[in-house]
Chains A and B, each alone.
Chain A
Amino acid sequence: MSIYEKPVLFAVAAAAVISVGTLVTTFIPLFMPSTQPVSPAIRPYNAVELEGRDIYIREGCNNCHTQTVRPLRTEVARYGDYSKPEEFAYDRPFLWGSRRTGPDLARVGGKYPDSWHYQHMSDPQGMFEKSNMPPYAWLAGRRMDTSLAVRKTAVLGYGYGADEVGRQVETFRATVTAPGYLFAQARSRVTPESLRAEITEMDALVAYLQKMGRDLKEFRNKGLAMVQTAEAAEAGNPYAGSKKAEEEGEAIFKANCRSCHGEKGKGGVGPSLEGKKWKYGGTDAALYTTISGGRPGGMPAFEAQLGKDRIWKVITYLRKLGKR
């Protein structure tokens, strides 16, 4: 009897055949670190930004706008740095889109002032004659319903309590409705009188647009090493005194540092690392800053190459050299 005479067996065989590709390309990746990286630079959406994001979804903005900058030269020139996996850690669902009838928005946050968005969203053709974007002036005429915000942020596991959500909403309301709000004029022009003291759907959407890609930008502006230093100073070396980390650190040193700092840190192109004298300070935080961000005059930055964990291991090894 062949399989072509047994429908149930055939169905089972078909299920087995389709499950191979499924397992390899979708199921197993669910558990790989490369598909779910986290970064201290990226923060979850606050309650208002999340509501704005839901408006973006409701209106189907993703049908015309993408949210991924590809690592192609002209694309980076047009939109900004290419997208990184960790930037989407809080995105449920993802909103990368598949068609650019309008431009990519992954880096739109902070690119224009709020007033630009209020005006553009209300009347795209008024700003760009040849634009074919639908006008969304009507969003400013709708009060933002935040009644589900607590539930939403809870489902998404953003870690806000009801108090925190209430505070975020109220802070935002107070900001955009204040007479001194920098963009009060532009906002009032599009928002009906009756809603000027409240959060509108337009306000929330603008808040979301301004959040997009902004975390990474701000993180960069502060300087990667600075943030890492602050963290490092606070946390200290997690491997301090560990013999095992010292050995691993030695191996990392040999592969990455020896070429300049010499065998066992005796010095070469770069300065000797023996003894307790450090050009840029000998605290954990200072050493971390030097290695992760580099120093002028030849010390390269190793943050991208080594990552936090391995940098701490090297520091553990350096402490051993320092005892000599």
Chain B
Amino acid sequence: MTGNGQSHAIVKGFTFSAVFWLIVGLVVGLWLAAEMFYPALNIAPWLSFGRLRVVHTNGLVYGFALAGIFACSYYMLEKLTRTPLVFPRLAKAHLYLFNAAILLAALSLFAGLNTSREYSELEWPFDVVVVVIWVMFSINVLGTLVKRREKEMYVSLWFLIAMVVTVAVVYILNNLAVPVSLFKSYSAYAGVNDANVQWWFGHNAVGSVLTFPILAMFYYFLPRSTGVPIYSHRLSIIAFWSVVFGYLWTGAHHLMFTPVPEWIQTVALAFSIFLIAPSWGSVINGYYTMNGNWEQVKTNYLTKFFLLGITFYGLQTIQGPTQALRSLTGLFHYTEWVVGHVHMGTMGWVTMIISASMYYMIVKLSGREIHSEKLAGVHFWLILVGQLMFTVTLWIAGIAQGAMWKATNADGSLAYTFLDSVAAMYPYWQIRFAGGVLYFLGILVFAYNLAMTARPKTAAA
């Protein structure tokens, strides 16, 4: 076994940091979901929706998902290169700095220090810290790759490299700003360009944080946990390069019908449709890998996570381009539909893959079997049913709301006031909250199961 105690501690550290930020982010999410139908929960100013929503999104994308990605990246890096991390102490500093930064960043967002630019809300001093953290991580990734003992790099490593490069480029360019004080800055771009650059970032944050590394995990942990090699190496090559190429063109599909030049919107739409092909390249690669081994969905507690995860990735990558079509975006955009879409990706794809990868790693690192396969099953079903209840409800809500906005009377006047469309949402919001609660319970089971698997051996004896 490559790696050493030091890097094991770092992987475990990031794993449990991720679980911690996941629980925090979900508690905030539940609070927000309840605020939608019970506005008295907007306790001013810290818990009002406008401030709290950014704590939820940033906490889960940058607290939970990134910590999970760092954990899995360091783990996969050592395994796939058969080389220990070149700078384990740097990785340790990375772990501490990361958690301190997430904590302070969350507090700053609570306090209303934000740039308003979606998924890029942190004010400039935090942006600087994020860059420092990213450099620390990148040095270890590239350094270990250069020193590696395994000659050829496996597909998971390609996705890690793509993530390292893309995050650096989009994060830095998008956050260029002129400070006016320690916690206030104005974007370097104005109006239409600011929107265009911001959504180029927004979409590629999804690509390089919630897609590339998650695919890296999928390509690594699925074969490791099932013992079946990935179906086609050639397919993964094609899928990789076309996803990485295509992603950067599609940001403006978030800006359909806005004042952004029409050609940018159309190009974004065209590339979004193109992306269905490589995205499904990975989905099909996953399905064919399991061809002849489907019984593992029942016998191996991890397989179902990976297969459902990649299925939601497949659905997500069809739904995304479809809802960007002009005829459909006219109905869906700005409604709960899009919120449902995002949550299928995050609650279905991202969290399914990350939590299964964590089970695998913690079992290996602690040198014992999982605490309870049964609980892992409970975890799986709770987050699956919770997520479906959540997303399907919001899709229906979105169609209803979009239709109400568009409905007209015989004389062409509007059939509903805006408030009518709000009032109609209350039952959906309540069901969505219930779905969120189920999901949260599943995550609590996961956290317990993982912690019990990782507990020191002496305590267990």
List the interface of chain A (C-beta within 8 A of B): 2, 4-5, 7-8, 10-11, 14-15, 17-22, 24-26, 29-30, 32, 34-36, 54, 57-64, 66, 68, 70-72, 74-75, 77-78, 83-85, 87-103, 124-125, 128, 130-136, 138, 148, 151-152, 155-156
List CB contacts (< 8 Å) of B169-208 with chain A. Answer: 169, 178, 180-181, 184, 186-198, 200
Q: A156 touching B186 by the CB < 8 A rule? A: yes
Q: B166 touching A14 by the CB < 8 A rule? A: yes
Q: Within 8 Å of chain A (Cβ to Cβ): is B406?
A: yes
Q: A35 touching B192 by the CB < 8 A rule? A: yes
Q: B246 touching A21 by the CB < 8 A rule? A: yes
Q: State which of A61, A138, A148 has its C-beta within 8 Å of the C-beta of B44.
A: A138
Given contacts A70-B257, A92-B194, contact A64 B49 (CB under 8 A): yes
> Considering only CB atoms, which chain B residue lies closest to A23 in the complex?
B248
Lowest 10 CB-CB distances: which A-B pairs, in order?
A: A60-B50, A88-B191, A21-B248, A134-B42, A7-B145, A21-B249, A70-B257, A85-B259, A58-B112, A130-B423
Query: What are the residues of chain A within 8 A of B145 when measuring CB–CB?
Result: 7
Q: Within 8 Å of chain A (Cβ to Cβ): is B422?
A: yes
A-B contact count (CB 8 A): 252
Query: What are the residues of chain B within 8 A of A66 when measuring CB–CB?
Result: 334
Query: What are the residues of chain B within 8 A of A85 when measuring CB–CB?
Result: 191-192, 259-261
Query: What are the residues of chain A within 8 A of B114 when measuring CB–CB?
Result: 57-58, 60
Contact string against A for B residues 388-406, beta-carbon threshold 8 Å, 1 for contact and 0 otherwise: 0000000000000000011
Q: Within 8 Å of chain A (Cβ to Cβ): is B271?
A: yes
Q: How far is the CA of A188 from the CA of B180 in the complex (A)?
A: 32
Given contacts A21-B247, A130-B422, contact A14 B162 (CB under 8 A): yes
> Considering only CB atoms, which chain A residue lies closest to B163 in the complex?
A14
Q: Within 8 Å of chain A (Cβ to Cβ): is B413?
A: yes
Query: What are the residues of chain B within 8 A of A71 when measuring CB–CB?
Result: 257
Q: State which of B53, B198, B413 has its C-beta within 8 Å of the C-beta of A93.
A: B198
Q: How far is the CA of A128 from the CA of B422 in the complex (A)?
A: 11
Q: Within 8 Å of chain A (Cβ to Cβ): is B48?
A: yes
Q: B261 touching A34 by the CB < 8 A rule? A: yes
B36 to nearest A CB, angstroms? 6
Q: How far is the CA of A163 from the CA of B109 in the complex (A)?
A: 33
Contact string against A for B residues 41-65, beta-carbon threshold 8 Å, 1 for contact and 0 otherwise: 0101100111101100000000000
Q: State which of B37, B44, B164, B252 has its C-beta within 8 Å of the C-beta of A25.
A: B252
Q: A132 touching B257 by the CB < 8 A rule? A: no
Q: How far is the CA of A58 from the CA of B35 in the complex (A)?
A: 19
Q: How far is the CA of A11 from the CA of B165 in the complex (A)?
A: 7
Q: Within 8 Å of chain A (Cβ to Cβ): is B372?
A: no
Q: State which of A132, A135, A148 has its C-beta within 8 Å of the C-beta of B180.
A: A148
Q: How far is the CA of A101 from the CA of B334 in the complex (A)?
A: 8
Given contacts A36-B192, A60-B53, A131-B39, contact A136 B142 (CB under 8 A): no
Query: What are the residues of chain B within 8 A of A124 when measuring CB–CB?
Result: 39
> Considering only CB atoms, which chain B residue lies closest to A104 in the complex?
B334
Given contacts A21-B246, A89-B190, A93-B187, contact A15 B116 (CB under 8 A): no
Q: Within 8 Å of chain A (Cβ to Cβ): is B117?
A: yes
Q: B116 touching A91 by the CB < 8 A rule? A: no
Known: A60-B53, A62-B116, A99-B339. 14 other contacts (CB 8 A): A7-B142, A17-B244, A21-B249, A24-B249, A25-B268, A60-B48, A60-B114, A63-B53, A74-B405, A94-B192, A135-B42, A138-B45, A155-B186, A156-B186
Q: B45 touching A68 by the CB < 8 A rule? A: no
Q: B196 touching A131 by the CB < 8 A rule? A: no
Q: B335 touching A29 by the CB < 8 A rule? A: no
Q: How far is the CA of A98 from the CA of B423 in the complex (A)?
A: 20
> Considering only CB atoms, which chain A residue lies closest to B212 in the complex?
A14
Q: State which of B116, B259, B339 has its C-beta within 8 Å of the C-beta of A60.
A: B116
Q: How far is the CA of A11 from the CA of B168 in the complex (A)?
A: 12
Q: Within 8 Å of chain A (Cβ to Cβ): is B254?
A: yes
Q: How far is the CA of A203 from the CA of B255 in the complex (A)?
A: 31
Q: How far is the CA of A114 from the CA of B28 in the complex (A)?
A: 34
Query: What are the residues of chain A within 8 A of B42 when measuring CB–CB?
Result: 134-135
Q: Within 8 Å of chain A (Cβ to Cβ): is B107?
A: no
Q: A21 touching B194 by the CB < 8 A rule? A: no
Counting chain B CB atoms within 10 Å of each CB, the highest count among A5, A7, A29, A62 belongs to A7
Query: What are the residues of chain B within 8 A of A14 when measuring CB–CB?
Result: 158, 161-162, 165-166, 244
Counting chain A CB atoms within 10 Å of each CB, the highest count among B193, B198, B244, B405 belongs to B193
B213 to nearest A CB, angstroms? 14
Query: What are the residues of chain B within 8 A of A135 when measuring CB–CB?
Result: 39, 42, 44
Given contacts A71-B257, A72-B257, A89-B190, contact A133 B39 (CB under 8 A): yes
